[in-house]
Amino acid sequence: MPAVRGDGMRGLAVFISDIRNCKSKEAEIKRINKELANIRSKFKGDKTLDGYQKKKYVCKLLFIFLLGHDIDFGHMEAVNLLSSNKYSEKQIGYLFISVLVNTNSELIKLIIQSIKNDLASRNPIHVNLALQCIANIGSREMAEAFGNEIPKLLVSGDTMDVVKQSAALCLLRLFRTCPEIIPGGEWTSRIIHLLNDQHMGVVTAATSLIDALVKKNPEEYKGCVSLAVSRLSRIVTASYTDLQDYTYYFVPAPWLSVKLLRLLQNYTPPAEDPGVRGRLNECLETILNKAQEPPKSKKVQHSNAKNAVLFEAISLIIHNDSEANLLVRACNQLGQFLSNRETNLRYLALESMCHLATSEFSHEAVKKHQEVVILSMKMEKDVSVRQQAVDLLYAMCDKTNAEEIVQEMLNYLETADYSIREEMVLKVAILAEKYATDYTWYVDVILNLIRIAGDYVSEEVWYRVIQIVINRDEVQGYAAKTVFEALQAPACHENMVKVGGYILGEFGNLIAGDQRSSPQVQFQLLHSKYHLCSPMTRALLLSTYIKFINLFPEIRTQVQEVFRQHSNLRSADAELQQRASEYLQLSIIASADVLATVLEEMPSFPERESSILAVLKKKKPGRVPENEIKEGKSPTPIANHTNDTSNPSSASGDLLGLSTPPTSQPPSSNTGVLLDVLGDVYNSKPLTNNTSNTQQNLYNPKKFVCKNNGVLFENELIQIGVKSEFRQNLGRLGLFYGNKTTFPLQSFVPTLLWSDDQAAKMSIQMKPVEPLLEAGAQIQQLINAECIDDYTDSPSMMISFIYNNLPQKITIKLPLSLNKFFEPTEMNGESFFARWKNLGSSNQQRSQKIFKANGAMDLQATRTKLMGFGMQLLDGIDPNPDNFVCAGIVHMRSQQVGCLLRLEPNRNAQMYRLTVRSSKESVSVEVCDLLAEQF
Amino acid sequence: MQFMLLFSRQGKLRLQKWYVAHPDKLKKKITRELITTILTRKPKMCSFLEWKDLKVVYKRYASLYFCCAIEQDDNELLTLEVIHRYVELLDKYFGSVCELDIIFNFEKAYFILDELLLGGEIQETSKKNVLKAIAAQDLLQEEETPQGFFEDHGLG
């Protein structure tokens, strides 16, 4: 038993020895229970215990608690000790209370009373004991009881330094619990001026407090900036003997320096006073200079303290992001650390460089270290350091080095630690997408990812590659070819089968000309994997097979045979059985025309933020290294909070840079569920039950005036897609209702809102749908429309259903406006203007609108919309090349109405003039109204 | 700082100080998991790690591990030196401190820590000043006449 210091409690030491001598866990528990029984009886006994005994038993309880046992008594005895006139007893009482806080209100009242007495004591040791207890408990009751008292202690001239230090930190703790306790007004300046205090310990403690106050109210505490800079300046220019005991291993006041540098990171660089700004830059330069000096000691404490200050200075330089010179110097310094002996320094240098990579001033300087960073990723012994290297490579990646970095990451992935693979896969996928100039490269990278680390490729990644391939015609053939080759590997990952199945089902025809990848071969290749796959993939493959029947009628019987095999008990899975039998029937019953419609190529996906980025953000909230270069901040006196531009989500609006005509579509919050026309029950994702608010609906009916296919509506529960085609005065719509939840949607009823009067002008027939939409399933509803006479507006569909016992109702407009029945008409300039003149003779035949552009005037986008509107866009007819003219015929059962249109953009005024002329006034008006809303 | 833990190479917790309020159950869970994580790390590895959403800094002194969980923007290197300063203080107070000193005098270890850190922030960085404060406390105790010595003897 070692010697016991101070007021040794022999009984306690004996007890601890006993515990240590216990040979087994059981023996220990037995000994403890014996002791607990003993203490309980002592506390309950008639004989009053003296202070010493109470102290001893309370201490034993504390020890038992620290061994990991629960303690549910002794609080009262501990509280009694607080009012003891013996310091050692009081101190143990406070310790017990601090460690085993009990919120029993009666006790709290007693504790508060004792603390009040001690706070009023003339002995600073007692006062500090009380302050430490308040800080250790730090509860709301404490804040309420002492919120008034402590600020007075802090700024009073009579208070001793040691008490001031405790008071500052005690106040900080209470402020964190209860931010309203800090008085404003004159207190502000008195608190700020603690930065000038003689006593270094007081300044250190006060700086922590001020840092927290500034975060809450930067404007009010702005005065601290110049004081902090002055104080910092005095420290960094001090020699190590100046500060005596506040010099730590030859480094002057490292703790205070770091705190001051932190404090300054709450503000943008001081601009109002160029003197302050200059002094701060001098300090930062001095710190950078010192880093180059030979060390004053070989001890690690010296280098740690010195580098702690250096790293904090670099953080401030990065935060200010305004001095190119300092940023580049910081980067060079960190570059040296990358090959330092100390693992800790390499780790921090990599981390810090991540931030430098996002500054426009230092991004290039960081890139110079690319080789070393790649080596770190490959060679570091510690996975956390390798992880930092990966983060940095991600942050420093841009157009110029993307191919190399992505390649290196792919190489490393083959041997990378399991713990970081998934994240690396996401990063590679994001970089490849973001910096792809050639989408064949992108396809190669993703397929490589699946090959190398298939298990770590989340569904978002393979969804995304399919979305991109579907949206980009030029890469479809290449994707089909590459995926076909990849599937030929004897063992290939199931994710490869999924991507392969999907892509060949859509674009297999593009490579079918080659004998080596004939329809027959494609089918056999895919089907050879079928038995090795999970039900979800099998379901996907069955969908691919039915698409094959449409694409390649020549292998129809072969595919049907497979459906037949799986439509019976051989498929243990009900969904697979059902799919197989339904597809089989579809292939038998449906005519080639119907098949071609049902299995038509997928429509483009709406462009949106890569869902992969969302996954990465979710994986590491608050710590995703960014891959966006920010512009430098010009110095402004405004506090950081109000003009911080580093919001990661705002920077990622158009990650792909492939927004073809900009649409006014709101960013979708959901992560691209593939619109699988054939439904996919394995794909359901967990959803919150909260349906009433915060749902971001995707619904913009106006867009569908100029568009026939796409996602018509989407919220958390349901996705409604539409495909439509029109011929003469007839139209056919397919609505696809997809249940996005994990619950069935019951009493599912779509109702058409289209009055009889209106129906006399356009008649609509719709097929009924099943009233139950299973979780994750999708159903289709076919609608036929016939235009009889011209009409205004378009019909709506009200969809009602019950989700999780809550009735839901959604009303959407159907894309059935009058312009859908346009037939485009080609004509030359001469006949156009002849008719134009002719139709213009009577006011009744024309309609005109002049309106302000709704957003930026993008003529390319205007063009796209006009083409989607249904009329023929006639180029080279209007003498003004900016103007658009169009011609078309509206088909109705009763008649046909010829229609001409002219749209004149005025860029200077940001206005459009739209004129529509037709042989029927109501048509002119409706066409004009419909189109005017589009721009 | 969110908390500080001292534990032995065998994974026994020797001291814990929490600067954030967590239920006991959560504290135990964090402690258990963190100790396991750190004990499996090799000696030459980095002293910092991202653990759940915490930044953890640890260092081994003889048979004891000192481990701190700090805020995202706290300085890792300086946290190592907070640990070192604490070790120096224990060493000075106990005279070449060992694990046993901390086991048998755990309350002293707490008192010293309370002088160094308050509410998770550094309170006094000067070694001299902290030792002065502890000495003043001990002096107050010595003024008390020892009591209960006889009652205590052998009674436990």
| Contact between chains at A344 and B76 (C-beta distance less than 8 A) | yes
Residue A771: what residue type? P
Q: Which two tokens stand for residue A134?
A: 């308040």
* Bridge partners of residue A60, in order along the sequence: none
| A169·B118 Cβ contact <8 A | yes
Whether residues A253 and B125 touch (CB distance < 8 A) is answered with yes
Interface size A-B, in CB pairs within 8 Å, comes to 199
Inter-axis angle of helices A556-566 and A535-551, nearest 10: 150
> Quick check: B139 contacting A, CB < 8 Å?
no
Q: How far is A565 from chain B (nearest CA, A)?
A: 49
Predicted pLDDT at A666: 38
Tell which A residues from 281 to 310 touch B, by Cβ distance under 8 Å: 301, 304-305, 307-308
Would the CB atoms of A66 and B100 count as touching at under 8 Å?
A: no
Smallest Cα distance from B149 to chain A, Å: 8
Min CA distance, A382 vs chain B (Å)? 6
**pTM (two decimals):** 0.69
Give me the half-sphere count of Cα atoms (radius 13 Å) on the Cβ side of residue A829. Answer: 7
Name the residue facing B122 among A13, A204, A623 (closest C-beta). A204
* Interchain CB contact of B29 with A (< 8 Å): no
Q: Is A132–B75 a contact, with Cβ atoms under 8 angstroms apart?
A: no
| Pick from A184-193, A370-379, B127-136: least confident | A184-193
What residues of B are in contact with residue A134 (Cβ under 8 Å)?
none
DSSP secondary structure, A750-807, as one string: EEEE--HHHHTTEEEEE----S-B-TT-EEEEEEEEEE-S--SS--EEEEEEEETTEE
What's residue A632's pLDDT?
61
| CA atoms of A679 and A540, how far apart (whole Å) | 9
Task: Output the pLDDT for position A105.
Answer: 66
CB A262 within 8 A of CB B121: no
- What pLDDT, on the 0 to 100 scale, is given for residue A608? 65
Provide mean pLDDT across the span A726-732.
87
Q: What is the percent of chain A with per-residue pLDDT over 90, rounded to a whole number?
A: 44
B52 touches chain A (CB under 8 A): no
- pLDDT mean over A583-598: 88
| Residue A633: pLDDT band with limits 50, 70, 90 | low
The answer to whether B127 contacts A7, with C-beta atoms less than 8 Å apart, is no
Residues A138-144, mean pLDDT to the nearest whole number: 89
Q: What residue type is assigned to position A224 of the chain?
A: C
Using the beta-carbon criterion (under 8 Å), do A343 and B24 form an inter-chain contact? no
| Interface contact A51, partner B, CB < 8 A | yes
Which parts of A are annotated binding residues?
10-11, 42, 52, 56-60
Average pLDDT, chain A: 85
Pairwise CA distance, residues A41 & A45, whole Å: 6
CA distance A318 to B76: 17
* pLDDT at site A7: 52
Contact present, A886 and A871 (Cβ < 8 Å): yes
DSSP conformation class of A184 = -
- Asked if the Cβ–Cβ distance from A347 to B16 is below 8 Å, we say no
Percent of chain B exceeding pLDDT 70 equals 92
Contact in structure between A255 and A621 (CB atoms under 8 Å): no
| Closest to A311 in 3D by CA, of A359, A368, A354 | A354
Q: How confident is the model at residue B43 (pLDDT cuts 50, 70, 90)?
A: confident
Q: Token match 């009886």: residue?
A: A41
Of B19, B129, B149, the CB nearest to A245: B129
* Residue ranges of E strands in chain B: 3-8, 13-18, 48-51, 54-61, 64-70, 117-118, 121-122
Residues 203-222 of A with CB under 8 A from B: 204-205, 208
Are the beta carbons of A178 and A144 closer than 8 angstroms? yes
Q: Residue A50 — pLDDT band, cuts 50, 70, 90?
A: confident
Asked if pLDDT for residue A359 goes beyond 60, the answer is yes
Measured CA to CA in angstroms, residue A101 lies from A97, A104, A302, B68 at distances of 5, 9, 39, 21
Q: What is the pLDDT of residues B64-90, one digit of tens each?
A: 999 999 998 899 999 999 999 999 999
Q: Which residues of B touch A2 (CB under 8 A)?
A: 98, 100-101, 104
pLDDT at A859 over 90: no
Q: Do A56 and B78 touch (CB under 8 A)?
A: no
pLDDT of residue A459: 84
Question: 3-class DSSP state for residue B73?
Answer: coil
Asked whether the beta carbons of residue B133 and residue A125 sit closer than 8 angstroms, the reply is yes
CA-wise closest residue to B116 among B91, B85, B137, B141: B85
How far apart, in whole angstroms, are the C-alpha atoms of residue A350 and residue A334?
8
Distance CA A596, CA A551 (A): 8
Per-position DSSP letters for A636-700, written without gaps between them: -SSBGGGS----TTGGGTTSSS---S---PPPP-S------TT--GGG-----S--SSS---EE-
Structure tokens at A530: 């079928």
Nearby residues of A162 by Cβ (< 8 Å), 6 or more positions away = A124, A128, A201, B124, B129, B133
Q: Residue B114: what pLDDT?
A: 94
C-alpha distances (whole Å) from B156 to each of A9, A15, A38, A44, A54 are 10, 7, 10, 18, 13
Using one digit for the tens of pLDDT, what is the confidence trace for A232-291?
999 999 877 778 899 999 999 999 999 999 999 999 887 778 889 999 999 999 999 999
Residues A426, A610: Cα–Cα separation, whole Å: 11
Please report how many Cα atoms fall inside a 13 Å half-sphere around the Cα of residue B141, on the Cβ side.
Answer: 18
Please say if the pLDDT value at position A831 is more than 90.
Answer: no
> Rounded CA gap, A5 and A288, in Å?
46
Q: Is A890 helix (H, G, I), strand (E, B) or coil?
A: strand
Q: How far apart are CA A147 and CA B19, in angstroms?
A: 19
Cβ-nearest to A201 among B24, B84, B129: B129
Q: Is the pLDDT of residue A676 over 60?
A: no
Q: How far apart are CA A27 and CA A40, in angstroms?
A: 20
**CA-closest candidate to residue B80, choices B122, B29, B128, B35:** B122
Separation CA A154–CA A160 (nearest Å): 9
Does any CB of chain A come closer than 8 Å to the CB of residue B40?
Answer: no
Count CA atoms within 13 Å of residue B100 on its CB side. 10
